[in-house]
Amino acid sequence: MVNGEAETQWTRASLLGRYEIGRTLGEGNFGKVKYARHRATGGHFAIKILDRNKILSQHIDDQIRREIGTLKLLKHPNVVRLHEVAASKTKIYMVLEFVNGGELFDKIAIRGKLSEQEGRRLFQQLIDGVSYCHDKGVYHRDLKPENVLVDRRGNIKISDFGLSALPQHLGNDGLLHTTCGSPNYIAPEVLQNRGYDGSLSDIWSCGVILYVMLVGYLPFDDRNLVVLYQKIFKSDCQIPKWLSPSAQDLLRRILEPNPMKRINMSGIKEHEWFRKDYVPAVPYDDDEDILPGSILPIKEQIEEPPRAKPTHINAFQLIGMASSLDLSGFFEEEDVAQRKIRFPSTHSPMDLFDKIEDVVTEMGFQVQRGPSKLKVMKKFKTSKNPKNPSSFLVSTEVFELGPSLYVVELKKAHGDSTLYRQLCEKLSDEFGMCTAEQIPRTGSVDDDLSSFDSEESLSSF
């Protein structure tokens, strides 16, 4: 047995294949967050290890599903990044960006309040991140300083999307109807149970956070929830006169109890207080990867290699791809087959890529080749917006399972789903391929996977 003290000394160095697991960063009712170091690069990560049985017994699987599904959509400098997800039969593993500066709540608690200059910089980043989420159809619904992290450079990262909403959660009226959030930060229209605009309710919460940063205490607070909600309905708060007039004006316009009169994202970004020294954040491209340990996205160098070298697949990836342990059926709201397919092959990566390139080129697509990845692209004009062509992008990657055994993955980054299905059907006809869910149980791969009954059993891989 390994005691708790020994765990901090990298006792599970082989856990998850590529990561060394270190100290516990946090602990909750459903698992722990561990510090992890990427073996090959030395990059720092946080791995959230959740107990699957507890999640199911407490009926919060929808919340976890929502958080994972949402984070997979979001790639922005001011949103915590989800790098990988996998599961054993008893554990769920989320490899997250490591943010080492603590919560915004702690920063404010230590300082009392922030200067307008510092508060403005953090608020600009908050609005950049939240508006990006809204553009992706994601509404956070639980924005508060405890859910906003700060890195060592003093930049914020929005986290905890367990209560977030996606377009499929909208009612027939185009509004959200679930009452959720933290009492002091919740918008008045959310409490009225008549439906609400997720963007405007998030803006209200951002306004409460701005007030706390600049003033040092909550604008609406009372131990009695009824009294608290009455204050929120009336927007009964005092905005200090010692704040600059433009800061006071922005707070009043955000903390407007009538959502139809409340300032929207465009209005906030055009406000004179917000615009001072404003440098908009640049979202990561959909097809860019954050390399372990790096700060900025680094695009793959698209060059024709002498030979296509496949990526070796490890235990961590294999668990996530295995049919019996694939997270897709447990978490994802969408049909995974609409976005990603995998199939096994004994052909070399070079032969596979050559064949795929021949097929897609005949269909009118363009191709870019990388060391172990092939990108299928197409741009075309639409009658609705002829000056801004639509784009279509599918990435193809080969993973090596063992000698002369490979897994080919096709993943749609963006573009028309119908066109993607046509592409998949064409390749399916050419290769006679099956998806990962259809791979027959033949041999050591599935036999080995059957042993992953616990976190500890991963270390034997």
Could you list the active site residues? 142
CA distance readout (Å), 388 to 131, 221, 286: 22, 48, 18
Query: CA angle 26-107-118, nearest 5°?
Result: 140
Q: Are strands 311-312 and 390-402 parallel, antiparallel or unpaired?
A: parallel
The position carrying tokens 């692209």 is: 377
C-alpha closest to that of 339 among 392, 285, 279: 392
Query: CA angle 404-396-434, nearest 5°?
Result: 65
Return phi, psi of residue 456, to 5°: -65, -35
CA dist 232 and 220 (Å) reads 6
CA dist 248 and 264 (Å) reads 16
CA dist 212 and 111 (Å) reads 11
C-alpha closest to that of 427 among 366, 362, 334: 362
